[in-house]
Amino acid sequence: MSFRNFKMVSYVVYGRGSFNQLDEILAPQRKGDAPMVFLLDHFFEGKPLAGRIPLRGKDKLIFADVTYEPKTTQVDALAAQLKEEFGTISGVIGIGGGSVMDLAKAVSLMMTNPGSSADYQGWDLVKVPGVYKAGIPTLSGTGAEVSRTTVLTGPTRKLGMNSDFTPFDQIVLDPELTKDAPANQRFYTGMDCYIHCIESLQGTYINEFSKSYGEKALQLCQEIYVHRNSWDEECDDKLMMASYAGGMSIAYSQVGVAHAVSYGLSYLLGTKHGIGNCIVMNHLEEYYPEGVKEFKFMVEKNNIDIPKGICSGLTDEQFDTMINVSMGMKPLWENALGKNWEQIMTREKLRTLYEKL
């Protein structure tokens, strides 16, 4: 098919306090006494949100440790544990940042698909729908709530399970849930959205569909980070919608240089997605001159620390590993630099870029 037939999230609820509706939303999805499993970001252990989860019958609440971004081994272990304990479940609800939402999507798929999640890292390898799944962001920016992928680190690569079965059946967008996010983390994840917009809008894959969402998301990011002097509730509202629109923008195009380079960092050094993108964006004037200028302005205005020198002291072998991972992200490079990208971004040039980080 030459035009992508885009599978979207089935149901969306938006608004402050909409989380309170979760019990009602889940009721029709319950299958007999098969439980709902709630994966809650471990940040909320002992916090009021943990007490607001609408547990019924055999439902299970699991605090998801997201110290490291989701791994295929973690997904497989969780799915195996749930199968052993319950046989089948009614659904998986992921409440947290991009990491927990991705974990929920992957666990849902691995409740019904045989083998290991590592077998499905790639495009359209998943063949069977998972169990019902819902995503509830507590950090805004990744767009994981709307995307058709769940990014996992596996034995040989960091790559998503991209498929029509991956998007959530339901998302609950309640900006109240993001209010306690620390300023640095909120910035890094918010910048993931800003960078999605720049990469999508400046990319060769751009079309009117992606542009409409990307421009709106970019405008919302600018309102928050460029034009405001302090953070308030309205900023949380805006950033949540920016994340949604930014995610919709890349769903029908692609990300670009910052993501391609940051995946290498993340694979080798475990650098997290948001901060990794920021570390790379800081050095991409050549590719996104206006975006990088504005990015630097936002970093300064919002008093954010962007780490430097993270690649100093790495061996040739380590640089090669990062270059291999990065060069493997072909669609990202093609979107950023065009069909002849391999002539523009050589291994030597990429090495020089990594050395600057």
Per CB under 5 A, residues contacting Zn ion are 192
Q: Of these, 18, 74, 117, 147, which contacts ligand NAD (CB under 6 A)?
A: 147
User: What does 178 bind: Zn ion, ligand NAD, none (CB cut-off 5 to 8 Å by kind)?
Assistant: ligand NAD
CB of 266 to ligand NAD, least distance (A): 7
CA 154 to centroid of chain Cα atoms? 16
Amino acid sitting at position 116: S
The amino acid present at 190, given as its one-letter code, is G
Closest CA to 60 of 39, 74, 80: 39
- The 10 Å Cβ neighbour count of residue 215 is 15
Residue in 35, 94, 97, 264 binding ligand NAD, rule: CB under 6 A: 97
> Smallest distance from the beta carbon of 260 to Zn ion, in angstroms?
11
- Which of 212, 216, 190, 214 is CA-nearest to residue 295? 190
For the bound state, the minimum distance from the C-beta of residue 8 to ligand NAD, rounded and expressed in Å, comes to 13
Instruction: Select 49 or 79, whichever has its Cβ closest to ligand NAD.
Output: 49
# of chain residues touching ligand NAD (CB under 6 A): 31
69 in contact with ligand NAD (CB under 6 A): yes
| Paired tokens of 280 | 């790379």
Distance in Å, CB of 340 to ligand NAD, minimum: 27
Site string for ligand NAD, 161-180 (x = CB under 6 A): -----------------x-x
- Assess 35 for contact with ligand NAD (CB under 6 A): no
**Which does residue 39 touch among Zn ion, ligand NAD, none (CB within 5 to 8 A, set by kind)?**
none
Burial of 266: CB neighbours in 10 Å, binned 0-12, 13-18, 19+ = buried
Q: 13 and 173 in contact (C-beta within 8 Å)? A: yes
Does the protein bind ligand NAD through residue 149 (CB under 6 A)?
A: yes
How many beta carbons lie within 10 A of that of residue 7, not counting itself? 13
Q: How is the beta sheet containing 151-153 ordered, strand by strand?
A: 122-123, 158-162, 151-153
CA distance 71 to 38: 18
Strand pairing category for 158-162 and 122-123: parallel
Determine the residue with CB nearest Zn ion.
192
Pairwise CA distance, residues 139 & 174, whole Å: 10
Residues 251-280 close enough to bind ligand NAD by CB under 6 A: 272-274
- For ligand NAD, the closer of residues 216 and 259 by Cβ is 259
Looking at the Cβ atoms of 18 and 142, the one nearer to ligand NAD is 142
Cβ-based nearer residue to Zn ion, 192 or 237? 192
Only segment of 22-30, 62-70, 224-232, 278-286 that touches ligand NAD (CB under 6 A): 62-70
Cβ neighbours, 10 Å, residue 300? 9
CB nearer Zn ion, residue 145 or residue 192: 192
Binding partner selected for residue 149 from Zn ion, ligand NAD, none, CB under the kind-specific 5 to 8 Å limit: ligand NAD
Q: Using DSSP, state whether 80 is helix, strand or coil.
A: helix
Distance CA 246, CA 195 (A): 9
DSSP label of 35: P
35 or 118: CB nearest ligand NAD: 118
For ligand NAD, the binding residues (CB under 6 A) are 41-43, 66, 69-70, 96-100, 102, 138-139, 142-144, 147, 149-151, 178, 180-182, 185, 189, 192, 272-274
